[in-house]
Amino acid sequence: MKKRRKKDIRKKERNSEELMTFGGHLEVLRRMLFRIISVAGGVAIVVFCFKDITWQLLLAPGKYDFVTYRCIESLAHAIGFNDFRFTEYHVELIATELSSQFMTHITTAVYLGLLAASPYILYELLRFVSPALHDNERRYSVQAATVIYVLFLLGVLMSYYVLFPVSFRFLGTYSVAEQVRSTITLDSYVSTFTTLTLLMGIVFQMPVIALTLGKMGVVTGDMLSHYRKHAFMLIMVVAAVITPPDIMTLVLVTIPMYMLYEVSIWVIR
């Protein structure tokens, strides 16, 4: 009886959605956007107020004693390379305009607010489109959205703990001559951090893209398996483009990207 009641309620909701006018849909969309902006704006305000904690986390990958370097040193010592140490470095960040720090603080708070509120934003979007979907389509869309979000977070973590620290270490300390001293602007630091993070979040969507192409019949698991060597070379080229010319960084980025390629083959099959 309960199942029948639930089905009847769902049918009524679908019928009401179908009978809703264009203006009614716009009103639902307006309310959804208002809720999203309110939640994301509220989170951004909280992030803006906790300035010390926020910028301590954002500036941590640019320090010579970042957790990634300590983990690599501990791993090297466990293997037997007891003398392995990362050299200390100090890169000074500057602000060249009067309002640059304040404006950078605002934009960064907005970015982090959107990132922190992204689960709620995803929920609202699914809630908005779900009345137009069948039950099986609704379940599939929820699973797909969850996978996309988890992969995006893995890409963000990959950028924060691996790609950006090593890139900043190389580019920030690189010098063509002793007379030239690098002073990095805060805007350059934040823009590079944001770009690499977004880029890795997109790169980690490789299994989802492969699954979509497989559903469309464009690629197959056997095809990807046959061109595995070519894909490995292409992944190395892409990793070399998005990372500084450093062997360790190239390896650290190539390995997870190639693992994603193997996952893509498994998902399609």
Q: What is the pTM of this model?
A: 0.78
What's the confidence (pLDDT) of residue 8?
A: 54
41 or 244, greater pLDDT: 41
Three-state SS for 244? coil
Tokens linked to 101: 């720090």
- Confidence (pLDDT) at 162: 85
Q: Bridge partners of 81?
A: none
pLDDT of residue 134: 74
Q: Is 228 within 8 Å of 234 (Cβ atoms)?
A: no
SS3 call for 19: helix
Look at residue 263 and tell me whether its pLDDT is greater than 60: yes
Q: From residue 245, how far is each of 180, 238, 265 by CA, in Å?
A: 20, 12, 29
Which pLDDT score is estimated for 19? 53
